[in-house]
Structure 1
Amino acid sequence: MARLSPTTILNRVSVVSQDPFVFLGTLRDNLLYGTEEPAADGELLSILDALSLDFTCEDGSSPLDRVLGSEARQLSGGERQRIAIARALIRRKEVMILDEPTSALDGETESRVLALLRSRVGTLIMITHREAPRAIADEVIAL
């Protein structure tokens, strides 16, 4: 039986929890948290666009410089979920484990996010009650 060290697993897997943590700091800080190789602003903005996250600033500054308040209270649940998904995508891991990743999204946004995940991640493991994530699965395990 093969055994993988915890370090090996951590180097290959990213996790998106049901109630993702968004901390006080800029959007860029939140997206790059825990990354080994920081992504360029263009890549960050592209991922935000693909996830339908619009943080346009009225003063013309970069959305990546927007400061997210304490516990990101000004963000909706769906925005917090998509920031966590973006963070996981930026890490470029081959496996992603997601717990109810689209529970706070409308149907159209959910479809877009799921399509993006399928196109960018080799293996997705999703814990969900929703039909849309199950519909894209190669295998469903009901517990």
Structure 2
Amino acid sequence: MPTTLSDEEAQFVDDIGHILEDHGRPRIAGRILGWLLVCEPPHQSFDELVEALGVSKGSVSSMTRLLVDGGLVERVALPGDRRTHFRMAPDAWSRVLSWTTDRVRRMHGAAERGLALVQERSPEADPWRLREMRDLYGIAARQLPEVAEAFENARRC
């Protein structure tokens, strides 16, 4: 049965695509993710993704591979259906929190190293840019594990 997205669905899918694109990811990967967030049933075959999103098979192939490799989407086999289907991975958002926490900790460490470098090179310099970076990422690095724990607790309820 052909899938035509409603105007609201298409807008949501495009919004997720733009958000991912703003974070350096391919827009089509975000559009696939967006559709997998709102589609019914929650799993879609390769051809259903191509049709619903109006994109090439090559785009769907490479972007589903990217999303699967990233752990946000998983392949599923349905009984009696030889096609591969895709759906959101059950732990996708926990993975996002984990990656975000790792990136934040790395940025905090980079800021610390940058501060040491500037202070060693020019003790009289005012490295306010690095101090603010360190402070922001330090706060986030301390609080993100609490966010992750709260999210995991909410998932269990």
TM exceeding 0.5: no
When normalised by structure 1's length, the TM-score is 0.30
Query: Per residue, is there more strand in 1 or in 2?
Result: 1
Question: Greater relative contact order: 1 or 2 (C-alpha under 8 angstroms, separation 6 or more)?
Answer: 1
Q: Which has the larger radius of gyration?
A: 2
Query: Per residue, is there more helix in 1 or in 2?
Result: 2
